[in-house]
């Protein structure tokens, strides 16, 4: 199954994210607008929410934080992250497992 928020690049999987800062918990909550919706406790101030998303993605996908690279969306809710070291099918498999547990 192809998940619309994940694509392939030469350096790894690309994940399209919809960020929801200042939430009660940090968690992936589903797919919305062809993006992986991630709620984070951190406010969108001084990059705190971006850092929280990177940390959460590293945890969910089993990667070191250095393998999560924000490519777009430094100040907006729509963000793009590179998951270096994972191919598209591996990332889809992990995200499918996360979504099935919601």
Pick the range with the lowest mean pLDDT from 2-6, 39-43, 78-82, 95-99. 2-6
Is residue 1 in some structural domain? Answer: no
Q: What is the pLDDT of residue 102?
A: 87
Q: What is the pLDDT of residue 2?
A: 67
Q: What is the reported pTM?
A: 0.94
Q: Tell me what the mean pLDDT of segment 17-21 comes to.
A: 98
Is residue 72 in some structural domain? Answer: yes
**48 to 4, 21, 33, 42, 44: CA distances (angstroms):** 27, 9, 23, 6, 6
Is residue 27 in some structural domain? Answer: yes
pLDDT in tens, 21-54: 999 999 999 999 999 999 999 999 999 999 999 9
Q: What confidence category does residue 3 fall into, taking pLDDT thresholds of 50, 70 and 90?
A: confident
Q: How many CB atoms lie within 10 A of CB 102?
A: 8
Contact, 44 vs 70, CB < 8 A? no
The CATH number of residue 16's host domain is 3.30.1200.10
Is residue 22 in some structural domain? Answer: yes
Both structure tokens of 98: 């996360």
Instruction: Report the share of the chain in percent with pLDDT over 90.
Output: 96
Residue 65 has pLDDT above 80, yes or no: yes
DSSP tally for the chain: helices H, then strands E: 2, 6
Is residue 84 in some structural domain? Answer: yes
Is residue 65 in some structural domain? Answer: yes
Tell me how many domains the chain contains.
Answer: 1
Q: What is the pLDDT of residue 18?
A: 98
Q: Residue 68 sits in which domain range?
A: 6-100
User: Could you give the CA distance from residue 15 to residue 6 in angstroms, rounded to a whole number?
Assistant: 5
3-state secondary structure of 28: strand
Whole-angstrom distance between the N-terminal and C-terminal Cα of the chain?
A: 18
Is residue 62 in some structural domain? Answer: yes
């Amino acid at each position: 199954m192809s998940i619309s928020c994940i694509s392939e690049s030469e350096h790894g999987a690309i994940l399209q994210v919809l960020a929801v800062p200042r939430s009660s918990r940090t968690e992936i909550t589903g797919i919305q607008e062809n993006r992986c919706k991630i709620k984070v406790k951190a406010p969108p101030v001084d990059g705190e929410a971006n850092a929280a998303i990177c940390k959460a993605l590293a945890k969910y996908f089993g990667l070191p934080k250095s393998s999560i690279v924000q490519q777009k969306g430094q100040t907006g809710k729509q963000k793009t992250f590179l998951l270096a070291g994972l191919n598209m099918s591996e990332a889809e498999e992990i995200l499918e497992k996360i979504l099935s547990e919601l």
